[in-house]
């Protein structure tokens, strides 16, 4: 019997450089501007733990940095910490890919888990588009779209 997986892939193009987009994705203070006040806490080294923090200090998600190739690729081991039904699903894998393309950067987010009909994948498929819409607007216009 084959392993069943659930996945979500989102692609957007942002008028910026790979270096600026990388900084936006990995700098806590900048992240708070487009991620609804939330931010990652980590040292951004392979093998290091990371956690995504709510504005009130609660932990939203945790994981480990699996791969880091500045300014091209981040791979994270990812586990939800605030919704028991999502926590129970275990770890997912999140890949963030940056590819320069004619004055812009193609940003691809892939979130995958070894589980059919994953509630985590359902949740991130609603969250990532909102977050990335804000990121794109902030980098291109200086303002966020959604608050």
Fold type of domain 6-106 = Alpha-D-Glucose-1,6-Bisphosphate; Chain A, domain 4 (3.30.530)
Supply the pLDDT for residue 146. Answer: 80
**pLDDT tens-place string over residues 58-117:** 999 999 999 999 999 999 999 999 999 999 999 999 999 999 999 999 999 999 999 999
Share of the chain above pLDDT 90, in %: 96
The mean pLDDT value for 134-140 works out to: 97
CA 68 – CA 62 distance, rounded (Å): 17
- Residue 145 pLDDT class (50, 70, 90 cuts): confident
User: What residue ranges do the domains of the chain occupy?
Assistant: 6-106
- Residue 147 pLDDT class (50, 70, 90 cuts): confident
- Residue 1 pLDDT class (50, 70, 90 cuts): very low
Supply the pLDDT for residue 2. Answer: 56
The residues pairing with 73 across neighbouring beta strands, listed in sequence order, are 69, 97
CA 99 – CA 21 distance, rounded (Å): 10
User: Could you give the 3-state DSSP secondary structure of residue 143?
Assistant: coil
The mean pLDDT value for 111-125 works out to: 97
């Amino acid at each position: 019997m084959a392993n069943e997986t659930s996945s979500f892939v989102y692609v957007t193009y942002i008028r910026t450089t790979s270096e600026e987009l990388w900084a936006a994705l990995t700098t806590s203070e900048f992240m708070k501007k487009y991620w609804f006040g939330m931010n990652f806490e980590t040292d951004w080294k392979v093998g290091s733990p990371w956690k995504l923090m709510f504005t009130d200090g609660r932990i939203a998600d945790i994981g480990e940095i699996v791969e880091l190739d500045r300014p091209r690729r981040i791979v994270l081991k990812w586990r939800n910490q605030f919704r028991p039904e999502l926590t129970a699903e275990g770890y997912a894998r999140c890949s963030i890919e940056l590819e320069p393309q004619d004055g812009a950067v193609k940003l691809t987010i892939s979130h995958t888990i070894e589980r059919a009909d994953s509630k985590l994948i359902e949740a991130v498929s609603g969250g990532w588009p909102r977050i990335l819409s804000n990121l794109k607007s902030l980098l291109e216009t200086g303002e966020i779209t959604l608050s």
